[in-house]
């Protein structure tokens, strides 16, 4: 079931997305060698609660194994859903921070992969190409296109650089639930899949690796790692499908401001 949103609903989604953007910036400020991922999580939770919202990832999942934290923090070979804890960040790591909030009944869900100190040129390229692919996908998120157009744009951009495109996890609709229809795979064929219509709101999130597209789940039943141990990058934006040009609800501007690193559609790292 796909829910089209009214402008007043989109306004609420915009507020939720903005809070996630601000939370990621608060976290960005603390990312440095030596910091524990659990400390980053506590800072994010405090900030979200202070802003009258709920950390949407906390408690998500099954009763037997609910996600225990506010952020998913995934370091190097971890692709997504890493559980914050006593892992310490090291110089040269790349770390995906994914955050979800529920504010006034609407969800925001977006992510950024940070460099810890100075990273290798190879890793910088992975980050830049993954970020570029996110915007290539967003460019296709317009009324009348299909989900396969988004996936194809992401896949072809990343595979042209010999990077792996993770298939087991995908983007999704977002609204009054964190995960709504349709699924937005990061691979696909132009003209295939679900038709996009104005008022659909989507979370687009390429997950791209240096090596294979194959992934596995760690015994904690959450953390997804690359099957070959290669590093992975992950960026996510929330967007509204519109005629001609999608509207991006989330922003990396707060991160750029705090880190003093330029982040544009074609430059990062």
Judged by the rule CB under 5 A, the positions of this chain that interact with Mg ion are 98, 109, 111, 203, 236
Q: Which is nearer to Mg ion, 101 or 116 (CB)?
A: 101
- Judged by phi (left if over 0) then psi (alpha if -120 to 50, else beta), residue 226 lies in beta
User: Longest C-alpha distance within the chain, in Å?
Assistant: 48
Long-range residue pairs from 141-145, CB within 8 A, at least 24 positions apart, any chain = 141/196, 141/202, 141/204, 141/239, 141/241, 141/246, 142/196, 142/241, 142/242, 142/243, 142/244, 142/245, 142/246, 143/196, 143/197, 143/198, 143/241, 143/242, 143/243, 143/244, 144/195, 144/196, 145/195, 145/196
Task: Select 162 or 196, whichever has its Cβ closest to Mg ion.
Answer: 196
CB of 162 to Mg ion, least distance (A): 25
CB of residue 58 vs Mg ion: minimum separation in angstroms?
A: 13
* 118 or 196: CB nearest Mg ion: 196
Angle between helices 147-159 and 121-139 (to 10 degrees): 160
Name which of 77 and 236 has its Cβ closer to Mg ion: 236
CB of 170 to Mg ion, least distance (A): 9
Q: What share of the chain is helix, strand, coil (3-state, %, to 5)?
A: 30, 25, 45
Shortest reach from residue 52's CB to Mg ion, in Å = 21
Helix (H, G, I), strand (E, B) or coil at 172: strand
Least CB distance to Mg ion at residue 91 (A) = 26
Instruction: Give the residue with the Cβ less far from Mg ion, 102 or 109.
Output: 109
**CB nearer to Mg ion: pick between 84 and 122:** 84
Min separation Cβ 120 and Mg ion, Å: 25
Residue nearer to Mg ion on the CB measure, 161 or 194: 194
β-strands 171-173, 94-103 pairing: unpaired
CB of 121 to Mg ion, least distance (A): 27
């Amino acid at each position: 079931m796909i829910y089209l949103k009214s402008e007043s609903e989109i306004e609420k989604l915009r507020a939720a997305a903005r809070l996630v953007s601000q939370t990621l910036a608060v976290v960005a400020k603390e990312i440095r060698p030596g910091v524990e991922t659990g400390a980053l999580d506590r800072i994010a939770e405090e900030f979200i609660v202070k802003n009258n919202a709920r950390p949407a990832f906390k408690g998500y999942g099954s009763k037997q194994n609910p996600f225990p934290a506010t952020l998913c923090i995934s370091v190097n070979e971890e692709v997504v859903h890493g559980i914050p804890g006593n892992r310490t960040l090291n110089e040269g790591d790349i770390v995906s921070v994914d955050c979800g909030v529920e504010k006034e009944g609407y969800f925001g869900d977006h992510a950024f992969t940070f460099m810890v100190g100075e990273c290798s040129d190879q890793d910088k390229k992975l980050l830049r190409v993954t970020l570029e692919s996110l915007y290539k996908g967003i460019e296709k998120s317009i009324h009348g296109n299909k989900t396969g157009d988004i996936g194809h744009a992401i896949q072809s951009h990343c595979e042209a650089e010999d990077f792996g495109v993770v298939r087991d996890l995908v983007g999704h609709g977002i609204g009054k639930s964190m995960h709504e229809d349709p699924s937005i795979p990061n691979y696909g064929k132009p003209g295939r899949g679900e038709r996009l219509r104005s008022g659909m709101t989507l979370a687009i999130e390429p997950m791209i690796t240096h090596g294979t597209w194959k992934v596995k789940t760690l015994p904690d039943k959450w953390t997804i790692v690359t099957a070959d141990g290669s590093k992975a990058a992950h960026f996510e934006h929330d967007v509204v499908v519109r005629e001609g040009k999608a509207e991006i609800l989330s922003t990396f501007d707060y991160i750029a401001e705090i880190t003093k690193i330029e982040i544009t559609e074609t430059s990062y790292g």
